[in-house]
Amino acid sequence: MTWRTVVLTKDSKISLRLNHLVIMSDEMTTIPLSEIGQVVIDNPNIVMTGHILNALSQNKITTIICNNKHMPFSHLNLIYGHFRQVMAIKKQLSWTPLRKDMLWQHIIKHKINNQKRTLNTFYQNSPYDNFDSYIKQVELGDETNREGHAAKVYFNQLFGLGFIRGEDTPINWGLNYGYSLLLSLFTKIITTKGLLTEVGIHHRNQYNHYNLASDFMEVYRPVIDIIVKSHITVEFDTAEKQELLDVFNKKVRIKNKNQYLANSVEIYVDSLISYMDSGDVKRLAFPTLIGAEVNV
């Protein structure tokens, strides 16, 4: 199982030797490709050839490139990730609007439930019956936007009444950084299933190349919220970034078992695709995110 996140922050020259990534900086580091899940390039002076980038993609390793603010800005994954990709895309394009709305309803209900569980992780003596009401009120396609209403209440209770999502603050830097990592993971897994990430079930932004990944990852956002609440304080420094990068080694519970994040996402995505292809709601499997289970 791949588990390492390789973060490149120093001026380095990267080479490939016998299926190992060789990093030449102050000292030489050698890492087997089979042990790497993702590579984060957080320095513009990293020297790496196209041959190495292709090798990373062929081994289903996501390469994440940060911008001058040290935030994830782009990522590199396989374009063709499945040997029966044409058939998978045909099925995806035949998904009916009704089934898309039904799946989105399920996703939002489980997202709100995980938000409630996240609040209970930090404020165990507070009642959150209002979140149970939001869950019951989610309609097909979430037409009444219970997701948005629950999110406003959730963030105010988690980070304080003065918190505004989108402001230029360390908490928002941490959330954006973590959500970008999740997006890269979902994009990789969706691509390996042969699907188009551009074609979503709810997100339909013509400028978003990751509509489907944006849809599917909603249930997992609270795992990032837990890490940010636990570790991000008055600044967003290297140590706090490392806490977020370690998200790939966290465990969540799905189908009555604790699974590493990437494994759980694969099980989850497989279940969503199976449901969209068959309409059998019993095939759906959603993660349960609880503070203790993500090892915070």
Tens-digit pLDDT profile for residues 67-79: 888 888 888 877 7
Weakest-pLDDT range from 43-47, 129-133, 287-291: 287-291
Distance CA 208, CA 71 (A): 18
The answer to whether residues 43 and 142 belong to one domain is no
In this structure, the answer to whether residues 134 and 56 fall within a common structural domain is no
Q: What would the mean pLDDT of 95-114 be, rounded to a whole number?
A: 97
Task: Calculate the average pLDDT of the chain.
Answer: 90
- What pLDDT digit, counting tens, does each position of 255-275 carry? 999 999 999 999 999 999 999
- Compute the distance between CA of residue 133 and CA of residue 124 in angstroms, rounded to an integer: 19
Residue scoring higher pLDDT (54 or 294): 54
* One domain, residues 232 and 265: yes
Tell whether the model's pLDDT for residue 293 goes beyond 80. no
Instruction: Determine which of 98-112, 134-148, 152-166, 233-247 has the lowest per-residue pLDDT on average.
Output: 233-247
Of 55, 76, 97, the domain-final residue: 76
Binned at pLDDT 50, 70 and 90, residue 133 comes out as very high
Domain that holds residue 18: 4-76
Judge if 105 and 162 occupy the same domain: yes
pLDDT value of position 81: 63
Question: What share of the chain in percent tops pLDDT 90?
Answer: 62
Q: Are residues 151 and 257 in the same domain?
A: yes
Pair (58, 97) in one structural domain: no
Tell me the β-bridge partners of 253.
258, 288
Residue 84's pLDDT is what?
Answer: 79
Distances (CA, A) of 46 to 55, 118, 246: 17, 38, 22
